[in-house]
Amino acid sequence: MKVLVIGAGNMGLTYSEGMAKSPLLGKQNLKIYDTDPKKITKLNKEPHFDVYDNLEDCLPKADIVFLAVKPFHIAELFKTMAPQINQQQLFVSLMAGVTIDTIKDGLGATKVVRAMPNLPAKVGKGVTSYTESEAVSKVELIMVRNLLDTTGTSIHVETEKFIDASTGISGSGPAYVFYFMQSMLDAALKMGFSAYDSKVLVSNTFEGAIELFNQSDISPETWINRVASKGGTTQAAIDSMDDNNVKQLIEDAAYAAFDRAIELGKEK
Ligand SMILES: NC(=O)C1=CN([C@@H]2O[C@H](COP(=O)(O)OP(=O)(O)OC[C@H]3O[C@@H](n4cnc5c(N)ncnc54)[C@H](O)[C@@H]3O)[C@@H](O)[C@H]2O)C=CC1
Ligand SMILES: O=C(O)[C@@H]1CCC=N1
């Protein structure tokens, strides 16, 4: 199985690194293509990849092609790719919003998997949702899942609506967590802690809470009650968040990302 990754940015490179580390692919079976000369020069120094700056030399030989460019790159990219693809090839898109039909039409392809990854894939803790076009076989889907799982874990969803929805939860989600972390760090600094101590306090608080959650069947709401004493400090903080409607605002933000994913799919 020969895999080509198009776009060596955050996601393309992360997936390439995940697949390169796994026993599924040897170096000769993993190729990466980008149009940015600076990226090509940098990547050429890495031992794990076969790096290309032109499609003719890498696209025709690939069995599975990952699409990891930004949605606005595809008009130009698909024009170059379309004459060079064949019907056996399977395309796996990591792009937000871009629909399976857009990819099928743009490339003249039939086998398309649409996936929504997230950035913790960089440390093997990514979560990817994925769904496929009709022409993708069960065996091909298992192969794709194995490749996706080299960066963490994945869930199969039945329709593209859930790809857009997971963009609002897990795809964009790490940024919501970092937003919360940044606010806590800013508060700690304001209270007088050093940058180092602020980081230790905040990162261990997040890590510890996640560990508690993962090692139990208890909901976050119940965990909140275990932290909060009646009339105590936590209750003061939770009351402040409730008074400011923070829960609803976070839900609204997730929906804003979901809606934007749908909108991106309609932009040409
Ligand atoms: N960054 C993230 O956390 C997530 C990103 N995504 C999706 O992944 C895709 C890529 O995002 P990032 O990696 O963050 O972007 P990026 O900007 O880091 O990488 C895009 C890469 O594509 C290259 N490129 C542009 N035009 C090209 C072309 N015609 N042929 C080949 N390469 C080309 C660029 O030089 C760049 O290296 C996007 O569609 C985004 O929606 C999905 C989930 C999470
Ligand atoms: O912000 C974006 O559009 C991409 C998709 C999910 C995370 N980053």
pLDDT one-digit tens code per residue, 140-191: 999 999 999 999 999 999 999 999 999 999 999 999 999 999 999 999 999 9
119 close to ligand 2 (CB < 6 Angstrom): no
So what's the pLDDT on residue 45? 87
Name the helix (H) or strand (E) containing 51: strand 50-52
157 close to ligand 1 (CB < 6 Angstrom): no
Give, for ligand 2, the residue of 122, 167, 169, 178 to mutate: max count of ligand atoms closer than 8 Å to Cβ. Answer: 167
Whole-angstrom Cα distance, residue 192 to residue 197?
10
So what's the pLDDT on residue 266? 86
The residue written with tokens 């402040």 in the block is 240
Q: Is 173-264 a domain of CATH 1.10.3730.10?
A: yes
Q: Is 35 exposed, middle or buried (0-12, 13-18, 19+ CB in 10 A)?
A: middle
Q: Residue 74: nearest ligand to its CA?
A: 1
The residue among 108, 153, 109 whose CA lies nearest residue 130 is 153
CA atoms lying within 13 Å on the CB side of residue 122: 7
Q: Are 160 and 131 in contact (CB under 8 A)?
A: yes
DSSP code for 230 = T
Taking the model in full, what pTM does it have?
0.94
So what's the pLDDT on residue 91? 98
Structural domain spans, the chain: 3-157, 173-264
Q: Are 71 and 98 in contact (CB under 8 A)?
A: yes
The CA 28 to ligand 2 mean position distance, Å, reads 30
3-157, CATH topology level: Rossmann fold (3.40.50)
So what's the pLDDT on residue 268? 63
172 close to ligand 2 (CB < 6 Angstrom): yes
Whole-angstrom Cα distance, residue 8 to residue 44?
12
Report residues of the chain scoring pLDDT below 70. 268
Q: Which residues contact 224 (CB under 8 A, 6 or more apart)?
A: 234, 238
So what's the pLDDT on residue 151? 96
Residue nearest to atom 3 of ligand 1 (CA): 119
What SS3 class is residue 241?
helix
The residue among 28, 7, 30 whose CA lies nearest residue 18 is 30
